[in-house]
Structure 1
Amino acid sequence: MQYATTDPGGEELSLAERAYRAVRDQLVMLEIRPGAPINEEHLAQSLGVGRTPVREALKRLQYERLITTYPRRGTFATDVNITDLAHISEVRLELEPLAAAQAARRATAADRSVLMAVRRELESVDPLRSGTTDLMHLDLRVHRAVYAAAHNPYLEDTLVRHDNLATRIWCLFIDRLSDMAGHVEEHGPLIEAIVDGEPEKAAQLARSHVEDFERAIRGAI
């Protein structure tokens, strides 16, 4: 697998940032399974970087509750606990609408270009052909583009972390969920509201999306 060396804005990423993003997404998508041991040396070899960037990345991932270190036992991917869903949703129900509204107010021409590019991808989704992994990555890209367009780094950081945790829960129950493509395609009207500069509509759509997500997960349990 190839990992990006630049961010969507075209800036060169540090080795630590590259390692962080690569390992983060493996943890979020459950490619590194919950409870699996984390080996610095193996990660460094697989990513083609030294152990120091990996060690820096793991410090961030521990803060974000994606990995856990136990004295004398080692470091492991955190378990996915369904009881966390209520806490995560509580945060997202307040902050997702805020981010969407601020994105509608603050999105630059570059932000709108990124959002519309993702919108075109949503329009081309074929429910019969699109694999779950591709849909999940597309969902993450939509969320991260919206958070970035809000131009509040503290809000963006908080929402990325909570969206990552929510996505892990989603991955855990993916085989029991129906109409996954429809859930991802819900983002289309949200993107349009942001691009058209409609903060109230964007906030309402964002809140409905989080509510639908929690309802779908609880229905699958």
Structure 2
Amino acid sequence: MKISGLKEYVYQELKNKLIMNQFKPGERIWEEHLAEELGVSRTPVREAINQLVAEGFIENRPRKGIFAAEITKDELRKMLDVRLALESLAIKECCKNITEEEMKDLDAIYHTFAKALEDEEYNKASQWDSEIHRFIAQVANNKKLAAYVNDIQDVFAYTRGYNIKWTKEKADRSIREHKKIIEAIKSRNEEVAIEIVRKDIDSMRELLSEE
């Protein structure tokens, strides 16, 4: 594997570990341990860490070491307006471009998400929640927009495990709201879909306001 390929491999592996909360916020990350675990030298590990520092997932604390980033609820609340703007544009373009086959794919992702929530598998549900929004952005057929949506979804996926506490009531509400979003997209009714997303994000704002 080439060096650039190694860096990408390590980057994806480490980012997945962070998003899956295998490293808790504030936990020390050791270059040498990662290199040994992944079977690579420390150079691609260091390069991947530097990239994740730039993206805000890792903090480099002088004279202390490398740590999984601690993203606060206040920081997340400030990101919600950006998320709403991005997802609104993605929905608008998705409603124009989505095909019958893509509608079936979106339905399948939704049902997997809903089943995970019904089974109280909240980590799994969170992954499929992100996948719904990533898929909508992908169908929008705008690579830059999809990249921005992916980035912000990654941040919320990383923090969801420790900043948002699910309950049965919240899970049921999320299932209903996502179903309405998808039905509106399938009807190509962008105004309704965007309004539901706005309410969904307002619900998230409430969750982030709770102690």
TM-score, normalization: structure 2?
0.81
SS in 1 for 2:29: coil
Q: Which has the larger radius of gyration?
A: 2
Conserved in 1, the CA contact under 8 Å of 2:113 and 2:129? no
**Which segments of 5 or more consecutive residues in structure 1 lack a partner in the other structure?**
1-13
| CA deviation vs aligned residue, 1:60-107 (integer Å, no higher than 9, x gap) | 322221111233432211112122133111211222211122112123
Q: RMSD between aligned alpha carbons?
A: 2.7
Residue identity (%): 29
Conserved in 2, the CA contact under 8 Å of 1:100 and 1:206? no
Amino acid in structure 2 at the alignment position of 1:141: E
Structure with the larger helix share: 2
CA distance in 2, matches of 1:46, 1:110: 40
1:146 counterpart residue number: 136
CA distance in 2, matches of 1:76, 1:51: 16
Conserved in 1, the CA contact under 8 Å of 2:116 and 2:124? no
Which of residues 157, 161, 166 in structure 1 aligns to 2:156?
166
CA distance in 2, matches of 1:111, 1:37: 42
* Aligned residue pair count: 206
TM-score, normalization: structure 1?
0.78
1:100 counterpart residue number: 91
2:54 counterpart residue number: 63
- Using a 3 Å threshold, how does the CA distance of structure 1 residues 177 and 54 change in structure 2: closer, same or farther? farther
2:15 counterpart residue number: 24
**Matches for 1:31-42 after TM superposition, within 5 Å:** 31-42=22-33
CA distance in 1, matches of 2:101, 2:9: 23
1:133 counterpart residue number: 123
**Which segments of 5 or more consecutive residues in structure 2 lack a partner in the other structure?**
none
Q: How far 1:125 sits from its partner (Å)?
A: 4.1
Which of residues 159, 178, 200 in structure 2 aligns to 1:187?
178
Conserved in 2, the CA contact under 8 Å of 1:177 and 1:217? no
Conserved in 1, the CA contact under 8 Å of 2:58 and 2:66? yes
- Using a 3 Å threshold, how does the CA distance of structure 1 residues 49 and 189 change in structure 2: closer, same or farther? farther
Structure number with greater CO (CA < 8 Å, separation at least 6) is 1
SS in 1 for 2:66: strand
Amino acid in structure 1 at the alignment position of 2:153: D
Q: How far 1:212 sits from its partner (Å)?
A: 1.2
CA distance in 1, matches of 2:100, 2:55: 31
